[in-house]
A and B are shown apart, each in its own frame.
Chain A
């Protein structure tokens, strides 16, 4: 039984949602996002996934970015924050996510 294939599909479908939720909580930079996601194996992803995804979200104007000068030995960081359009997108996704969870729960319940 190979669950990894399915897991990567779930990840692909939900990573965008998770990143937007993270940025909504507080503006964040690439490395911080990657580190936070790293705590949850199911959505952990590498640089070659996260950075291009962030750029796509930027281009679609769900998030905006702003470089912040490094201070006290810290490197300059590119902070991402949620835009109004991003807020809307998250609410729409949240609705669908709840629908999905409800559907799964109901189906599970019926079968049991």
Chain B
């Protein structure tokens, strides 16, 4: 199948998102079948596209049916929508700002941690006596001081952990937003 026809089907598929996956695939396959049918009859790709019209309009024709089917008023639907917005409203108030702060902070801290650890290590190895270097590191007790190398490795480990925790928080945030918008779309289309 030529590229413009594939493009056409791709555009259609995007517009058909509110339709369940299995039905979507079926719709696309049926249009694809007609494209091949037309090709066999010697119709050029350009003519096929022209015949089928705008992919968005063709997709919308399928959705039109969906809208009229779901528009019927029902208390069940009202309840679902209320529940959805209450949940999203409350969870969003906590989830989005929390993850939004946690993600970049952890990523930045995770990146800074090994750098500081390295500075301390260099400071201790070469006895540079850099200002504030004593404030860096893992404090166990007055009497017990960690070996500089062990300390550095621990710091490195903590940095890596923080970095990945930040990435995870970020992914969680993206996942949450996608889930919410996906559900909203399904409720209202």
The residue in chain B whose Cβ has the minimal distance to the Cβ of A47 is B52
The verdict on A30 contacting B33 (CB below 8 Å), with A48-B58, A52-B65, A73-B40 known, is: yes
* Residues in B neighbouring A56, C-beta threshold 8 A: 65
The residue in chain A whose Cβ has the minimal distance to the Cβ of B33 is A75
* B111 adjacent to chain A (CB < 8 Å): no
The verdict on A77 contacting B65 (CB below 8 Å), with A47-B52, A48-B57 known, is: no
The verdict on A78 contacting B61 (CB below 8 Å), with A31-B38, A46-B53, A48-B53 known, is: no
Q: How many cross-chain pairs have Cβ atoms below 8 Å apart between A and B?
A: 54
Q: Is there an interface contact between A75 and B40, defined as CB atoms closer than 8 Å?
A: yes
Number of interface residues of B (CB under 8 A): 21
Q: Is there an interface contact between A48 and B61, defined as CB atoms closer than 8 Å?
A: yes
* B70 adjacent to chain A (CB < 8 Å): no
Bin the interface of chain A by size.
20 to 34
* Residues in A neighbouring B34, C-beta threshold 8 A: 30-31, 34, 47
* B124 adjacent to chain A (CB < 8 Å): no
Q: Is there an interface contact between A74 and B40, defined as CB atoms closer than 8 Å?
A: yes
The verdict on A30 contacting B30 (CB below 8 Å), with A55-B65, A75-B36 known, is: yes
Min Cβ gap B58→A in Å is 5
> Told that A52-B64, A75-B40 touch, could you supply 13 new A-B pairs with CB distance under 8 A?
A30-B33, A31-B37, A46-B51, A47-B53, A48-B61, A51-B30, A51-B58, A51-B61, A52-B65, A67-B29, A74-B40, A75-B36, A76-B33
